[in-house]
Amino acid sequence: MALSKAQLPGTAQHFLECDIEDCERNCEFYCNICHTRLCKQCRDGHLRSPETKGHEVVLYQQRKRQLPIEKCKIHPTKDKEFLCDECKIQICSKCTATQEHRGHTFTDLESIYAEKFSHCQGEIAKIHEYFLPTSKDLQREINGDAKEIKKIMDSIRTSMKAEAESLKSLVDKVASENTDEVNKIEISLLEKLNNQDTTIEKYITYLNDLDKKFHVYLSSLKPSKLLTAEDIQIQPLPETTNPVMPVFTAGKYSKEDIAKLMGKVTLPNKKGEMRKVQPLKAKTPKSNPKSTTYQVMKERNPTSNVKQTLSLSSSVTEVREFTVPGDDKVFHMSLDQSGRLWVSDGDGNLIQKDLQGNQLQKIKTSGGRGYHTVPQDGGLIFTDQEKKVINRTTLDNNITKFIKTAGWEPISIHSSHINGDLLVGMRKIGEGKVTRYNKTGKEIQNIQWDNKGQVLYRLPHYIKENINGDICTSDYNKKAVVVVNKSGQHRFSYTGQGSGFFPWGICTDVLGHILVCYLVNIHLLDQDGQFLSLLLTQKQISTAISVCVDDENNLYVGQDNNRVQIFKYLQSKKKE
């Protein structure tokens, strides 16, 4: 069964229509008093009408939730509207006058419902923004560990097999040498015995010959021969020796001896370290600049001395400069994790430079000013204003379409260093907005109106995220720096130090400062929008167009004469 407009769940992705009769425009606003959905035109009429001009009209996303109708069991014609603070039960307006509740205090049930509804939404947001992503990160880490264990164990098994083969080779070699030695001893002994055998064999022949001789004497008829027989002496037996037999002494070894030779695998007797989980950050109206600064510094440089802090330097010092090929302006700059710089000009060329200013690569886009950003996982993401798409480069430098912006012209882009989200400033004729996409390119947030229903942006052509999650946008047509928190709530707008403020490039630093280009100056603000100083002036730079800050707290200023100057404006100091 199809759901009616009233039945559509608040969390579904759908287009809401205005509740005013015969109006089919999309709903953007909500009246908290009469619980009516309103388009922009009907909102204006609603606030002009004498009957409803005092009503509270807010953006639809900030609406109070309407209390579901539940009839009173005691007074069936009445709705439950109050909570009895003493009895802790829901009652209708008629119940408040009964003897049972006389003298009790009551709380508007709709306010409680709205509060509890917001609480549940907040908990749902925590689940989806923190607990589920963190759990999935842990799961990926566990699966990664399992793969690492398999890889390590395969390596150990290979090493053990190689060790066994090596030991086996040594055993075979020693056994072969021992066998050769046995063969030599055997040959030597047999040679001695053969010599003795030959001697005995000759002696036996001698005896046989002598025996025949004596028989001849016996058979002789001449006595004289027999008389001479006694002169013949039998030679003594040759001397022979018994062989010295070899003795084999078996090696004495045990399984433990072999284990020592082979080596063995052991598991260290210690507990595994707890997996590191980023804590759930509490949402507060304002952050403490000191603690936030220290935390960000610690995340960027874990080995930094905890006693070291940063502060504004008393003077700004130029470190170096280089020029970008061509004679155009440096419209935008982004730094990658290796400290290499991407710059863009007015013809849509994207140029990568190394730390010395040497060109590494160049990408030609279809036009525009080549606004771009470097995501956490590397590569480059850049806008195509004419085709109304956002492209990204792959690891092999191929360019692919990443996001289609549905008719809106993307004119600024920034990849969050907090969670990897993509913040895109966009425009149509007379309209501007900031859209947040997740890492996969899914749209998750649209920021267009303030709490009073007024437009926030007209030309958000530079965008940056501050350390506290604020979205800082430079809007040339509104003549202001517009800052909203990560939920899209307007925090403040900075309109310069006089009339005619036309801001260009914008960036933030590790201390939460906001730096914005305006002609020959760089305006320095704190994270709450308070003007601190003119950081650079005409004596130091030409017309400033774009800015960015690297991890070493160097300020890069791109200018209208295709020059990039690099300055030091923060200093380190250590506590005594």
Q: 409 near 385, Cβ under 8 Å?
A: yes
> Domain map of the chain by residue range?
310-574
Name all contacts of 252-257 with Cβ < 8 Å and 24+ positions apart. none
Under CATH, what is the fold of the domain 310-574?
Answer: Neuraminidase (2.120.10)
Other beta carbons less than 10 A from residue 439's beta carbon: 14
The position carrying tokens 């260009």 is: 504
Distance CA 437, CA 375 (A): 12
Q: Which two tokens stand for residue 177?
A: 């040498």
- Residue 445's DSSP bridge partners are 436
Both tokens of residue 91?
């009652």
Describe the chain by its helix, strand, coil percentages, rounded to 5. 30, 30, 45
Predicted confidence pLDDT, tens digits, the chain (576 residues): 333 344 344 433 446 889 998 898 888 899 988 889 999 999 999 999 999 988 888 888 778 777 888 999 999 999 998 999 999 999 999 999 899 998 899 998 888 888 888 788 788 888 888 888 889 989 998 998 899 899 889 988 988 888 888 889 888 998 899 999 999 999 999 999 999 999 999 999 989 988 888 888 777 767 776 677 677 788 899 999 998 888 888 887 788 888 877 777 777 777 777 887 778 776 544 433 333 333 333 444 443 343 357 888 888 899 888 888 765 788 899 988 777 888 988 777 888 888 777 888 888 877 667 789 998 878 899 998 888 899 998 766 788 899 999 889 999 999 998 888 999 999 988 789 999 999 889 999 999 998 888 899 999 999 999 999 999 999 999 999 999 998 899 999 999 988 789 999 999 999 999 999 998 889 999 999 999 999 888 788 888 999 999 888 899 999 988 889 999 999 876 554
What pTM did the predictor assign? 0.51
Q: Which residues pair with 548 in a beta bridge?
A: 556
What is d(CA 204, CA 288) in angstroms, rounded to the nearest whole number?
Answer: 119
Separation of alpha carbons 13 and 123, rounded Å: 19
C-alpha distances out from residue 14 to 17, 68, 139, 438, Å: 10, 21, 32, 19
